Structure 1
Amino acid sequence: MAAVREVEETTAVRLGALLDAGDGATVTLVAGETRLVAHRAVLASRSPVFQAMFQHDTLEASSGEVSITDVEGEVMRELLDYMYTLQTPQLSATAPQMLAAADKYGLSALKAVCEQQVSAQLTIDNAAAAAVLAVRHSCPDLTAAAIAFIKAHNFQVMATQGWADAMRNHVTEVIEVTRLLADPPAEASAPATTGGGSPPGTHHQPHSVHGRAADSAAPAIAAHNTPPFFHIIVSLLRRLPIQDRLDMLTWAAMYGRVEDLRALAAAGAVEEEIRGVVFGQTALHLVASGGHVEAARSLLDARALVHFQDVDYQTPLHYAARNGHTAVVVQLLGASADCNATDGYGDTPLHLAVRAGHAEVAAALLQAGADTGARNEAGSTPLDIATQANNQQLIDMLT
């Protein structure tokens, strides 16, 4: 191991000398007024981001110049020194910026060192910025340290200018920080598939934060429906663009996150959906598909669209019936859902329940007045479908 370490250190020193000399350089990094000459092979060997950049037909690969708009020149210079020498630069005030740059270019070892440095420098004035930085760049240790620091200082951080600046400029991250301050809920289970050939939702996928793809299991928004955090989160949500709130509503519905839905409803997201939905699935469709009983109740309390039809003209009741979620079916019926609404194929919720063999759902629909003689576009009644499937229980119910 000592011999390997010696070779690595010698190589790093030689690469450092190569950087100083500038011999054979093939790429120029431009960060503001700073221009740094570097070797393409070295950058690619250290950073997966640079490797992908130079391997593909990109402007940077063809021009030999990389424009860097979100990293200051001095920070970029130190980052480049690290990539050549693997020696961590002296970090103090630049640790947060270096962490962001290391994360951007996939330098995990440097990112970890920066994370430790920022954790060691936490104060009441900078803890909000540190927490935002940790959430934005997926730093679990720094996140835990910042949250613990804020709690340990009796939430004094929330009275600082740093917190006010974070609320004004980084609302999405502050929502997550506030959620963590209220203690995170247990992990949510994966959502049920919606089926029916419909797209995953009315709204777009949640926006990525600073270019990062949103995780399929997005973090919850609210942990407890108790002051002061619930009201803080609602206030923050109201500051977001409408589409962001609708995106969050979609994901909260998919995962059945009740407190998230309540916070979003309090922030006006359900009303915005009622005004803005034109084509596709609503949050209530997604909740019905997943069988999330409490989530369905929270949306119905917020006067969600019970009768709205998706691209296949299916209502939330169609979704719940098809997937066998009896409790949600009963809830929707109690909210005056039309048990005889027909979709694009002429199927009623009863048709779908019978086709899937959900006897309990069929019983609930029949009790609500579902039409046993309704015919779909193929001319089939629910009884015809039960007969074709030789489902005697359903045949008895329908005759």
Structure 2
Amino acid sequence: MEPTQEVMETTAVDLGALLDAGDGAVVILVAGGTRLVAHRAVLADRSPVFGGMFRHDTLEANTGEVAVPDVEGPVLRQLVAYLYTLQAPQLPSLAPQLLAAADKYGVSAPKARCEQLVAAQLSVETAAATAVLAIRHSCTSLRQAAVNFIKANVAQIMTTRGWADAVRTQPEEVVTLSHLLASSPAEASTSASADSSLSPGSGPQRDRSWTPDTSAPPTTACTTPPPDDSAVSRLRSLPEKEKNSRLIQAAKEDSVSELQTLLAAGADVGARDESEDRYTALHWTAKKGHVKAARCLVEGGAEVEARSSDWQSTPLHKAAGNGHEAVGRLLLEAGAEADARNKMQSTPLLMAAYHGHEAVVRLLLAATPYHNTRNQWGRTPLHYAALNGHAEVAAALLEAGADRWARNNEGKTPLDLARQNNHQQLIDILKLS
């Protein structure tokens, strides 16, 4: 899959900086018997913990060797791979360990993805360990999912080896868990309302609907420097409406530091503009392709499934329709529903196919099994690719199993639409050999 121009340009700048970094450009990460060579600049840019380590006169900064305790070699490899590629890991078996490592080094996106993977594996035997993991690493959504599961299966779980091991090795966390289990249903539902999609047994469809934890402080996960206290104090005194208006504007302008300061000052991460569309800040970052601002908003608890007032579009619809693959990937990693439908019953894939954004089409095809989704006019993504002459998109859809003979509400196939608009390349692709 080809990266978007935005990601290519960012990568080019990073690589250029690495070439000029001199002899001290690399460090060795050591985890047990695993030794990995990595660039200081990449580690510092993607992890605030590594960044602080290299900015100060620490042993690691001076020796060029960083010990990574309590992290196994395969887990370290996955973490470093994310720091270089910004692509969330897809190894369920390592999810608990990677969640802990990502939390330790302040890398929020893989931590969020691992929360999803761990929640999907909840069982009677693993419930205690999952709850302990969530408590130890401040995973509010995962914690509530585990608590709900344990409450529903308490008699079975407390007789398992997993529960006994938790009591023996993690007594403090088990005490906290006991208090959570003893809380009233009203107290539990307050934090569970945003976390129901993490329920075990919900399957891949529910897993993709996961939304970030909104109870955490909105600026804790942003990778930009912490906001200046005086700036926060000044903004905190502003009327709520003005703070929210500034938040929307900062999202439009990709101003991450401004977003972080406004969120710290109490701006509503879910605030909407006053247009007919009623977009949230995350809608605007998705529409404009502002990756850093989108990440800050997601980490601050922005609702990835928020709907606009006009066409009931999600941020992923806006990213897909405007060809912003990097933002689309971020939203999917944060749990955005790949098959969400807007007012016209169009999915993000239909939007991307209509506009000819091949990279986004391939991203979405990788995120959800292909099916011949139809909008209210009975058109599939392949209909739109044929209608508008997007040969590369059509090829990707056919590879994924698109039905070239599907008929829309007018009884026309994609081939009919290609012929109607004289798209010869599409005609050749859609004809059976």
On whether the aligned pair clears a TM of 0.5, the verdict is no
TM range (shorter): 0.3 to 0.5
User: Which structure has the larger Rg?
Assistant: 1
The alignment's TM-score, normalised by the length of structure 2, stands at 0.39
Greater relative CO, 1 or 2 (CA 8 Å, sep 6+): 2
Q: TM-score, normalised by structure 1?
A: 0.42
